[in-house]
Amino acid sequence: MPADTIYALSSGGLPSGVAVIRVSGPHTRSALEQICDEIPPARQAALKSIRNRNGSVLDQGLVLYFPAPASFTGEDCAELQVHGGRAVVDAILSELSSLPGLKHAEAGEFSRRAFHNGKLDLVEIEGLADLITAETEMQRRLAQEHSSGKLSALYQGWARRLTHARAMIEAELDFADEDDVPGSVAARIWADMRVLKDEIADHLSGVGVAEIIRDGLKIVIAGEPNAGKSSLLNYLAKRDVAIVTDVAGTTRDVLSVDLSLAGFSVRLFDTAGLRQTEDIVEKEGIRRAYVTLAEADIVLLLADTPVGFMQLTSSEEGKPVLRVGTKVDRDPVLWDKADADVLISTITGAGMDRLIAVLTSYLPDVSGKSAMSLPSRKRHVSCLQQAHSALEMSFAQFDSGLDIQAEFLRQASDALGRITGRVDVEDLLDVIFSEFCIGK
């Protein structure tokens, strides 16, 4: 157990209606005795006066005490729920800093102690970090699945199956002549290992969905100058993000705005009009437009006349491209339904519901019961790929002996263990916990 007791404001920016100050460590109890006179009953909120060393009242608030190990960190913990004024919080934090054995917490230090004390594994902790920063409903659901331990349970179940398989192999190698040792290992474990390999492969197929949930769907608006790209961006954003004029080439750089669409995060990009030009600044904007197009998940190709749809470069081939006819309020007769996938007007709003419905159809279907048990981080994906490859190598070594096959099963087990933090992850901890805010 760490010698220091840590404290920090855990409830975010000030001023606020209520501020929560968290304390964790071996000196928590003595700290409460000094600032609150007495310890409230365990896990029961009690209204207490919070005093400084001279006995002056700093504030009055609810105090909760969580004795170890039944706390978030697994240590003695306390929470002070006080008024959220800056002067109040500063005074209490200053008083805590003067107490022996107490220090201000670093970013993620409470969660790090929870990990070291076995209260949470790395997947749960990363899910907790994602839950704090979630901005859309799908991000919340994905983070909740991870922070609740459901994904960890899946990985731990796979690890147990690998451990059982390795145990059976060891038994056959060491005690092949004993009557109480199961017979052919191949008949008992390799069928399950093949099923496990397929389960991991199926799990990895959800990487694309998880990326869309976490990072958002990238939608790029492209087209010739004055096709209505910036007007569409402003309409969808419900504010003036981009400058709109009748002058061709007004947009010189890539602009973006984050939206929520059907619970998913969507990042919408407005790009420079694509045309031949000698203007150096506009030419750079067009270059950046093509770079952005190459990274797009969906391309909205805009034109204000039926003949205005330009051909995209080969780098955009294979991506969904929606041909959007714009400014239909000016001359509706000009357009035929076959001329474009969607016809819109940002002035009247015509066709916008249809455009949003089409875009929504490209979002992944997460209606399944286990749809949120998805690998959402690159390190998860890397470890799962290593486990899958190790299983494949184990199957390929049937002619090399059970001991070689068992070694590849061990590698697969270690790869799964690194996801949850059960194996060799010390070098990852600083990176993971640095993502947290102070006080969590």
Q: Residue 93 sits in a domain of what CATH number?
A: 3.30.1360.120
The answer to whether 95 and 81 have CB atoms below 8 angstroms apart is no
Q: For residue 308, is pLDDT > 90?
A: no
If asked whether residues 356 and 267 sit together in one domain, one would say yes
Q: Is residue 398 part of a domain?
A: yes
Q: For residue 292, is pLDDT > 90?
A: no
Q: For residue 245, is pLDDT > 60?
A: no
Per-residue pLDDT tens over the stretch 378-397:
999 999 999 999 999 999 98
If asked whether residues 101 and 15 sit together in one domain, one would say yes
The answer to whether 120 and 140 have CB atoms below 8 angstroms apart is no
Q: For residue 316, is pLDDT > 90?
A: no
Among the listed residues 375, 382, 142, the one whose alpha carbon sits nearest the alpha carbon of residue 265 = 142
DSSP H helices in 295-397: 352-361, 378-396
Q: Is residue 237 part of a domain?
A: yes
Q: Is residue 366 part of a domain?
A: no
If asked whether residues 272 and 348 sit together in one domain, one would say yes
pLDDT band at 367 (very low <50, low <70, confident <90, very high): low
If asked whether residues 229 and 348 sit together in one domain, one would say yes
What per-residue confidence (pLDDT) applies to 424? 58
If asked whether residues 245 and 277 sit together in one domain, one would say yes
How many domains does the chain divide into?
3
Q: Is residue 438 part of a domain?
A: no
If asked whether residues 385 and 276 sit together in one domain, one would say no
What per-residue confidence (pLDDT) applies to 185? 58
Return the CATH number at 249.
Answer: 3.40.50.300
Percent over 90 (pLDDT), the chain: 44
Provide the residue range defining the domain that includes 318: 214-361
Q: Is residue 380 part of a domain?
A: yes
Q: CA–CA separation, 103 vs 294, rounded Å?
A: 49
Per-residue pLDDT tens over the stretch 32-72:
999 998 899 999 999 999 999 999 999 999 999 999 999 99
Q: Is 415 exposed, middle or buried (0-12, 13-18, 19+ CB in 10 A)?
A: buried
Among the listed residues 290, 151, 292, 298, the one whose alpha carbon sits nearest the alpha carbon of residue 216 = 298
pLDDT band at 187 (very low <50, low <70, confident <90, very high): low
What per-residue confidence (pLDDT) applies to 291? 81
Q: Is residue 282 part of a domain?
A: yes
Q: What is the mean pLDDT of residues 209-220?
A: 87
Total-model pTM:
0.78
What per-residue confidence (pLDDT) applies to 24? 97
If asked whether residues 349 and 411 sit together in one domain, one would say no
If asked whether residues 134 and 192 sit together in one domain, one would say yes
Q: Is 202 exposed, middle or buried (0-12, 13-18, 19+ CB in 10 A)?
A: exposed
Peptide bond into 69 cis (omega under 30): yes
Q: For residue 409, is pLDDT > 60?
A: yes
pLDDT band at 248 (very low <50, low <70, confident <90, very high): very low
If asked whether residues 261 and 193 sit together in one domain, one would say no
